[in-house]
Chain A
Amino acid sequence: MAELREELKEKLIEQLSLEDVEVSEIGDDDPLFGDGLGLDSIDALELIVLLEKDYGIKLKDPKEGKAIFESISVMADYISKHRTK
């Protein structure tokens, strides 16, 4: 799981163009939206695409993302349970 969490941090920085952020600066339980990494609604959509493209997880309802993208830990947990690739 630790490996997946690191992988997700790297993907977030790459996919969401977080050029001023280092992997080491993202805590496993830091909130990704709001006061945490400060991601916005477009980032949320980008994360939904990332889930499908890289892990074969298709969210039926985009609103599900709110809970899944709470933090890196929550995301990693969800992906490990639902991934198809």
Chain B
Amino acid sequence: MIREKYYISDFCVIRDKKVFKNGTEVYADSEALSVKDFAKGIYKFLDLKYPKFHKMDELCKLGFLASEVLLKDKEKVDQDTALVLSNQASSLDTDRKHQLSIQDRENFYPSPAVFVYTLPNIIMGEISIKNKMKSENAFFVTDNFDADFITLYSEVLMNTGKATNVICGWVDLDNDKYDVFLAFLSKKGNKELTKEELNKLYKQ
């Protein structure tokens, strides 16, 4: 059986108060005091008009913004573009906020708006809603970005006709420390998809 070739057509990194697309810095805010402020700055920079953004937790905001940067110049996103994401801290950042709201029995007011984000895969729901994707999605919790596994999983999705393209990567946040990397995989592009290439781009 001939192995189909796939490519990394675009990638986005959000790290250390900077946003990169395809290796080029597109936004930076060294003055941002919090992830919330930094994310809001990116939102304004991208000139987004999407009120639901403000309701998202910080993890979702970062994943959502990375997807917006990644898809910015694409005329159309195929509905069957799959999402394969991963991180290390799951939704721990928001889990703690939820825990704080329920630990005092005398002041027990859990917020539904916080509770809905106590699962990391909500990021994929937000990206899917925005881009009208009706596709396969999976979120994995691993110690580190596992380029080998993510590449294999994405290739299987495309090889078996489950997806035309895949947005894959790493969206991690814990206590104001964040690390975001998204890549758009398709049949077109300059960089051939291999675990080595994906890992190299992540580490850039």
Contacts and interface: CB of A to CB of B under 8 A. Distances in A.
A23 interface: no
A42 B116 contact: yes
A24 interface: no
Interface in B60-114: 109-113
Nearest to B107: A53
A20 interface: yes
A19 B54 contact: yes
Interface of B, helix, strand, loop or mixed by DSSP: helix
A59 interface: no
Contacts of B54: 17-20
Interface size of B as a range? under 10
A17 B109 CA distance: 17
A43 B112 CA distance: 8
Contacts of A15: 113
Interface size of A as a range? 10 to 19
Contacts of B112: 42, 45-46, 49
Nearest to B50: A20
Contacts of A42: 55, 112-113, 116
A36 B116 CA distance: 23
B109 A16 contact: no
Interface in A6-59: 15-21, 38, 42-43, 45-46, 49, 52-53
A38 B51 contact: yes
Contacts of B55: 16-17, 42
Nearest to B49: A20
Interface string B39-62: 000000000000100110000000
B111 A49 contact: yes
B109 A53 contact: yes
A34 to B, nearest CB: 15
A46 to B, nearest CB: 5
A42 B52 CA distance: 12
Interface of A: 15-21, 38, 42-43, 45-46, 49, 52-53
Given A18-B51, A46-B113, 18 more contacts: A16-B113, A17-B54, A17-B55, A17-B113, A18-B54, A19-B51, A19-B54, A20-B54, A38-B51, A42-B112, A42-B113, A45-B113, A46-B111, A46-B112, A49-B109, A49-B110, A49-B111, A52-B109
30 contacts: A15-B113, A16-B55, A16-B113, A17-B54, A17-B55, A17-B113, A18-B51, A18-B54, A19-B51, A19-B54, A20-B51, A20-B54, A21-B51, A38-B51, A42-B55, A42-B112, A42-B113, A42-B116, A43-B113, A45-B112, A45-B113, A46-B111, A46-B112, A46-B113, A49-B109, A49-B110, A49-B111, A49-B112, A52-B109, A53-B109
